[in-house]
Amino acid sequence: MSDDHATRRAEDPWRVFKIMAEFVDSFDTLSRLGPAVTVFGSARTKSDDPNYKAAVAICEGLAKHGIATVTGGGPGIMEAANRGAAHVKGVPSVGLNIELPFEQKGNRYANLGVNFHYFFTRKVCLVKYSMGFVYMPGGFGTLDELFEVVTLVQTQRIPSFPIILFGTQYWSGLLDWLKNTLESGRLISPGDLDLMQVTDEPAQVVEWIRDYRRSVGVPEQVPAAFR
């Protein structure tokens, strides 16, 4: 074992305190959030992309019904979602930013932010305080978060929150593969794919979230400007 590797291992117990601090800070901030939806998608999406514009519309629509938006805090779809939420005063637009050597920088539309060093602590918070999840077209990170949340719902570790895939064309190939390979091979159960809903309409996303909110008896608190 190299000296450098031995030193890193010796420091591991002390990292627990840094991890704990991230959880304490983020839990303290987000525990007062109220109803919220987490939006995932590519950090590389440009502002003239239809998916960017759709994310703005979705999160502005949610905010008009008093539902906060949570994102990973970066550019692209995350910026678009925070931007839409920020259009409505009094509704949090949350960015959970991660420190990365490239690509990720906090966007200016998140009016409530928490910074993370560890991916896994951030991932907990992206799920823990939301009552629905919207997946715009994205890369490995988006897919990672999708399968993590679907697994948590499938295994009943969290309630059957809405899991909404935006963009029929983008998601159809993956869904066909899941059906024709996993479901037909009995690697997942019949009905597991029904945990996900697909749409191309921002208004439909908002309505599905509102339907779920009503179904669990959470009263709607519409911002004063939209009453």
CATH number of residue 145's parent domain: 3.40.50.450
Of residues 52, 53, 87, the one with CA closest to residue 69: 87
Secondary structure class of 154 (helix, strand, coil)? helix
Residues contacting 182, CB < 8 A, separation 6+: 188
Instruction: Determine the residue type at 178.
Output: L
- Measuring CA to CA, how many Å separate 7 from each of 1, 4, 211? 10, 5, 53
Looking at every residue in the chain, the average pLDDT score rounds to 92
User: Is 225 domain-assigned?
Assistant: no
Q: Do the beta carbons of residue 161 and residue 212 sit within 8 Å?
A: yes
Looking at the chain, list the stretches that DSSP marks H as alpha helix, in order from N- to C-terminal side.
3-30, 50-63, 77-86, 119-128, 140-154, 168-177, 202-215
User: Is 104 domain-assigned?
Assistant: yes
Instruction: Determine the residue type at 38.
Output: T
For residues 115 and 108, give the distance between their C-alpha atoms in angstroms, rounded to a whole number.
14
Q: List residues bridging with 79 in a β-sheet.
A: none
User: Is 156 domain-assigned?
Assistant: yes
Structure tokens at 171: 């998601």
Question: What is the length of the chain?
Answer: 227
Q: Which of 12-21, 32-41, 198-207 has the lowest mean pLDDT?
A: 12-21
Q: Which of 13-22, 58-67, 139-148 has the lowest mean pLDDT?
A: 13-22
Q: Domain residues for 128? A: 3-216
In the structure, what pLDDT confidence band is assigned to residue 160 with cuts at 50, 70 and 90? very high
Q: Which of 14-23, 96-105, 172-181, 205-214 has the lowest mean pLDDT?
A: 96-105
User: Is 74 domain-assigned?
Assistant: yes
User: Is 224 domain-assigned?
Assistant: no
Whole-number pLDDT of residue 177: 98
Count of C-beta atoms within a 10 Å radius of residue 150: 19
In the structure, what pLDDT confidence band is assigned to residue 171 with cuts at 50, 70 and 90? very high
Whole-number pLDDT of residue 103: 54
For residues 62 and 52, give the distance between their C-alpha atoms in angstroms, rounded to a whole number.
16
For residues 97 and 74, give the distance between their C-alpha atoms in angstroms, rounded to a whole number.
6
For residues 72 and 41, give the distance between their C-alpha atoms in angstroms, rounded to a whole number.
9
User: Is 227 domain-assigned?
Assistant: no
How many folded domains does the chain comprise?
1
In the structure, what pLDDT confidence band is assigned to residue 106 with cuts at 50, 70 and 90? confident
Whole-number pLDDT of residue 220: 79
Phi, psi torsion values for 168, nearest 5 degrees? -60, -45
Whole-number pLDDT of residue 227: 57
Q: Is 118 exposed, middle or buried (0-12, 13-18, 19+ CB in 10 A)?
A: middle
Whole-number pLDDT of residue 20: 94
Whole-number pLDDT of residue 217: 85
User: Is 222 domain-assigned?
Assistant: no
